[in-house]
Amino acid sequence: AQTVTQSQPEMSVQEAETVTLSCTYDTSESDYYLFWYKQPPSRQMILVIRQEAYKQQNATENRFSVNFQKAAKSFSLKISDSQLGDAAMYFCAYRSGGGSNYKLTFGKGTLLTVNP
Amino acid sequence: GAVVSQHPSRVICKSGTSVKIECRSLDFQATTMFWYRQFPKQSLMLMATSNEGSKATYEQGVEKDKFLINHASLTLSTLTVTSAHPEDSSFYICSARDDGLRGAGETQYFGPGTRLLVL
């Protein structure tokens, strides 16, 4: 079974600074997807960014980018120019790419605090 | 963007009663939906996969008779917590997979969640 590990229970960053959230995963599959979801205090899960394992290029969405290291099974999220609205719980998630298994496996999450 | 709604957003019920939670995909069809449970300051725990027109697939340790799932249409899945007890109090979240997106475009969209309190 796949596992997702987020080793940082909590992180903090100053407004306008950059922060990197870590995520590692364990899988024997070669085809899969990786996601970062954000859960603000409202508890609405919001997709931040998605990476297909077959793509070597790191995904980028505005201020959010990932460092995908397939061999190392690492998928970190970098938030640039942090804003107060970025404060939330961030979850890394894995999804198998094959067959009809669409389940997401989540890490335990990293609580990000943004200091003004 | 794709929107998933949940109703009710919060519910308080007495021990022993049943509670139904609805999950709707508002602007896309979803053959597959998922139900999660989340305790405070913890991650999402997948309870079951809901499949339109067929039986749900439950994760290990989840009681099928306790958490009844019905996926009667391509836009609606319901979770019924039967004979609820205080230990069932939790935050329940659904997600839906957009049938119109495949492969690289595929993602799950989440509902806003339902807070259940059983007294």
For B38-80, how does the pLDDT look when each residue is reduced to its tens digit (9 = 90+)?
998 899 999 999 988 889 999 999 999 999 999 989 999 999 9
Test A102 with B91 for CB contact under 8 angstroms: no
Q: Which of residues 52-81 of B touch A (CB under 8 A)?
A: none
Kindly state whether A57 is in contact with chain B, defined as any CB-CB distance less than 8 angstroms. no
pLDDT tens digits, residue range B14-47? 999 999 999 999 988 898 999 999 998 899 999 9
Q: Residue-wise over A50-89: b if at least 16 C-beta within 10 A, else e?
A: bbbbeeeeebeeeebbbebeeeebebbbbbeebeeebbbb
Cβ neighbours of A4 in B, within 8 Å: none
CB B49 to CB A33 under 8 A?
A: no
Q: How far is A19 from chain B (nearest CA, A)?
A: 21
- pLDDT for A90 equals 98
| Those residues with Cβ within 8 angstroms of residue B103's Cβ, 6 or more apart along the chain or in another chain | none
How far does B112 lie from chain A, in Å, by closest CA?
Answer: 5
Q: Quick one: pLDDT at residue B102? A: 58
